[in-house]
Structure 1
Amino acid sequence: MGNVSCVFCGCVEQSSIGVVERWGRFEKIAQPGFHFFNPFSGECLAGRLSTRISSLDVRVETKTKDNVFVQLMCSIQYRVVKENADDAFYELQNPKEQIQAYVFDVVRAHVPRMTLDALFEQKGDVAQVVSEELEKVMGAYGYSIEHILLVDIIPDPSVRKAMNEINAAQRLQLASVYKGEAEKILQVKKAEGEAESKYLGGVGVARQRQAITDGLRENILNFSNKVEGASAKEVMDLIMITQYFDTIKDLGNSSKNTTVFIPHGPGHVRDISEQIRNGMMEGASAQINAAD
């Protein structure tokens, strides 16, 4: 993974390690710092490896159990294990391609057993499965998997649109339920208010009638005591006539009233008809006499 340097000395940077060979065979690991090499004895610096954490983003396209195609963006953070740096240097030519291949394999084996909703809810479990599998495989090559994050789940655009429409419909349904409950409460409160109003109105009417009855009784008693020989019926008739004339007076004071008092019994209707007919006949007779 690095070029052989046949020099007498060399420097290994911080956060790196050097691989030293003797006559083409691995000899030792050179820690960061300045080192001397003896090319006459076949010793040389074969290459350097960075021990910093590297990041690799892998986009995997697969489908779920309910046949929805999704794209998963995985972020893998890995580094070289210093103690096994020789394995990392000699065993793998391209570690990124190796990691990417295993991510593809694990994700496409695990995700098709999950529905889309379960995938969103359990993406941490998917990342855990990928991490465990990569740790076993890449550990043999001198690499340590630090973290794996499932940073994004991207369904097909048509599926996302359908999911949004379903969510909107559910929210509208819930809003309709709340609106119906609110209208129900409003109607119940309105009915309770009307019932209370009618009850209080009835109480008021009953009290009014009680007051009228008490007043009439008091008037009858006072009149009977002051006028000797007057019976209660006669006093009651006198009071009713007085109220009748008071009503006629009130109606006459208003120019907008067009009230006509007509007896409502069958016999009274016949008498009214006869009176109207007789009046019309008398009027006609008067016109004939005036003409003669």
Structure 2
Amino acid sequence: MGNLFCCVQVDQSTVAIKEHFGKFDDVLDPGCHCLPWVFGYQIAGHLSLRVQQLDVKCETKTKDNVFVNVVASIQYRALSEKANDAFYRLSNTRSQIQAYVFDVIRGTVPKLNLDAAFEQKNDIAKAVEDELEKAMSHYGYEIVQTLIVDIEPDEHVKRAMNEINAAARLRMAATEKAEAEKILQIKRAEGEAESKYLSGLGIARQRQAIVDGLRDSVLGFSVNVPGTTAKDVMDMVLVTQYFDTMKEIGASSKSSAVFIPHGPGAVRDVATQIRDGLLQGSAAQH
């Protein structure tokens, strides 16, 4: 019906290409237009101005000879002021864009190692966008955005990379565990050394207290009992200690039988042996 009355409708976000006897005449914007077909005017086609997306999967290899599939997402649209170029100059826009993407990716990725390719995805996308923008602007198209959405190496390569990563993490965990055990051993040794040091101090103080007590006892006994010597007092102390020891052994229900010389003469022998040991130790120090 529109053609009968020489009227055509152009939808929103679309332009129509008007021809006069097969020659480009004008670009019709969205709306209603008069098209007197009887005078040789016609619509050659319509061109969408919406942003379109093209996903390109390109196989290439990296500098370290790893084959990867690089997936690029290209967002583009036709420019209304250059609609005649976009309509007439390219027969297959998507194939043209794909060819440029292949060219840039296969010229960029082989210069990078696999790890660098993952790290420099934005640089690869920028290189693709710059090349496409420079080429497609002559054909009436604008490159809106270029994204490298995936870099997928071979399955065996991914498994090897995961194993390397796992081994590195296990090695790090083993190092941390060994360091923790080392710290525990050092702290345990420091604690034992401190404990032994404090124990030694306690024993030294105990012995010092015993010596001081014996000295005070000997001096007090010598003063209160005239005519006694320090040797007599020490012999008496040893006899007292001897009987106290025998008493403790007899009072313990779990004690085993102990055979020792018994009698006053044995006590004198013990006292003599102690004194001789102390005198020999003093002489050795001097």
Aligned to 2:107: 109
Aligned to 1:220: 218
Deviation at 1:262, TM superposition (A): 6.1
- After the TM superposition, which residues 92-107 of structure 1 pair with which residues of structure 2 at under 5 Å, given as runs? 92-107=90-105
* Contact 1:99–1:134 under 8 Å retained in 2: yes
Cα gap change, 1:7/1:74 in structure 2, threshold over 3 Å: closer, same or farther?
Answer: farther
Aligned to 2:231: 233
Counterpart residue type for residue 96 of structure 1: R
Q: SS at 1:44's partner residue?
A: strand
State the Cα deviation string for residues 5-30 of structure 1 (Å, max 9, x = none).
Answer: 79711011000111111111111111
Deviation at 1:44, TM superposition (A): 1.7
CA distance in structure 2 between the partners assigned to 1:162 and 1:130 by the alignment: 30
Counterpart residue type for residue 35 of structure 2: F
CA distance in structure 1 between the partners assigned to 2:156 and 2:188 by the alignment: 47
CA distance in structure 2 between the partners assigned to 1:55 and 1:182 by the alignment: 55
CA distance in structure 1 between the partners assigned to 2:5 and 2:199 by the alignment: 114
Cα gap change, 1:253/1:103 in structure 2, threshold over 3 Å: closer, same or farther?
Answer: same
Deviation at 1:41, TM superposition (A): 2.6
Deviation at 1:74, TM superposition (A): 0.8
**Counterpart check, 1:13 vs 2:41:** no
Deviation at 1:38, TM superposition (A): 1.6
Aligned to 1:77: 75
Counterpart residue type for residue 179 of structure 1: K
- After the TM superposition, which residues 161-180 of structure 1 pair with which residues of structure 2 at under 5 Å, given as runs? 161-180=159-178
Q: Which moved more, 1:5-14 or 1:188-197?
A: 5-14
CA distance in structure 1 between the partners assigned to 2:204 and 2:5 by the alignment: 121
* Contact 1:15–1:51 under 8 Å retained in 2: yes
* Contact 1:76–1:145 under 8 Å retained in 2: yes
**Counterpart check, 1:120 vs 2:118:** yes
State the TM-score, normalized to the length of structure 2: 0.87
- After the TM superposition, which residues 254-265 of structure 1 pair with which residues of structure 2 at under 5 Å, given as runs? 254-258=252-256, 260=258
**Counterpart check, 1:23 vs 2:21:** yes
Deviation at 1:261, TM superposition (A): 5.3
For this pair of structures, how many residues does the alignment match? 259
Counterpart residue type for residue 240 of structure 2: T
Q: SS at 2:139's partner residue?
A: coil
CA distance in structure 2 between the partners assigned to 1:17 and 1:256 by the alignment: 113
* Contact 1:7–1:39 under 8 Å retained in 2: no
Aligned to 2:144: 146
* Contact 1:6–1:44 under 8 Å retained in 2: no
Aligned to 1:209: 207
Q: SS at 1:228's partner residue?
A: coil
Deviation at 1:255, TM superposition (A): 4.0
CA distance in structure 1 between the partners assigned to 2:16 and 2:239 by the alignment: 130
Where structure 2 has 5 or more consecutive residues not aligned to the other structure, the ranges are 262-286
Counterpart residue type for residue 100 of structure 2: Y
Q: Which moved more, 1:79-88 or 1:32-41?
A: 32-41
CA distance in structure 2 between the partners assigned to 1:260 and 1:250 by the alignment: 12
Q: SS at 1:67's partner residue?
A: coil
2:249 to 227, 247, 251: 251
State the TM-score, normalized to the length of structure 1: 0.85
Aligned to 1:47: 45
Aligned to 1:134: 132
Where structure 1 has 5 or more consecutive residues not aligned to the other structure, the ranges are 264-292
Deviation at 1:87, TM superposition (A): 0.6
State the Cα deviation string for residues 88-124 of structure 1 (Å, max 9, x = none).
Answer: 1001111011111111121111111111000000011
Cα gap change, 1:40/1:132 in structure 2, threshold over 3 Å: closer, same or farther?
Answer: same
CA distance in structure 2 between the partners assigned to 1:241 and 1:7 by the alignment: 145
Deviation at 1:140, TM superposition (A): 1.0
Deviation at 1:258, TM superposition (A): 3.0
* Contact 1:12–1:33 under 8 Å retained in 2: yes
Aligned to 1:195: 193
CA distance in structure 2 between the partners assigned to 1:184 and 1:109 by the alignment: 52
